[in-house]
Chains A and B, each alone.
Chain A
Amino acid sequence: KAGVTQTPRYLIKTRGQQVTLSCSPISGHRSVSWYQQTPGQGLQFLFEYFSETQRNKGNFPGRFSGRQFSNSRSEMNVSTLELGDSALYLCASSRRDTQYFGPGTRLTVL
């Protein structure tokens, strides 16, 4: 069974631009969660989608948004990028209790 895939794996953007990251969950998983990982703040929860509905949201500004499609694939968008948005963005899919993480997208904002 294929694992969680994330595209792209690496991304370089400049301040003020916007970016869209994609996550394909494990087949059959309906929940997708997104996390931001930085050296200073560690792993922080962004939001969770279940059956195309946002079920929970972390404490991030409105520049961070996401959505989930009917096939459970999810995208997250960050608008008006800031230097502090440089991070590893991880998504996880879940079916029962265990969460399975993808390899992440490394975003660098210059």
Chain B
Amino acid sequence: KQEVTQIPAALSVPEGENLVLNCSFTDSAIYNLQWFRQDPGKGLTSLLLIQSSQREQTSGRLNASLDKSSGRSTLYIAASQPGDSATYLCAVRGGDSSYKLIFGSGTRLLVRP
């Protein structure tokens, strides 16, 4: 049974700092991994998607890496801003045809001005 873990559960950093969020999963037979952002009381916004055959994806100040063999992914946020404050969730999609996602519990990020 796939399990997804995110560390740390919460993180508080000063503005401008570079930071790394971690995600690990127990079953390496994944189709892809997706990072989401969730603002309080809102839905999820997709940030980056990494296919199982890829090593990393970049979008602006965000970079996500995937090491499928070790069951790990990281989300790197460069030059953090207060607007980055949100909960970040990673989710893996299994190797079947379904779109079912297994989510981690998230990292709650606070970027202090």
Contact = CB atoms under 8 A, between A and B. Distances in A.
Query: What is the size category of the interface that chain B forms with chain A?
Result: 20 to 34
Contacts, number: 62
Main secondary structure of the interface of B (DSSP, over half): strand
Most buried by A among B43, B93, B105: B43
Nearest to B106: A42
Main secondary structure of the interface of A (DSSP, over half): strand
Contacts of A48: 98-100
A106 B40 CA distance: 12
Nearest to A55: B98
B41 A106 contact: yes
Interface string B85-113: 00001010100111111111110000000
Interface of A: 4, 31, 33, 35, 42-45, 48, 50, 55-56, 58, 88, 90, 92, 94, 97-104, 106
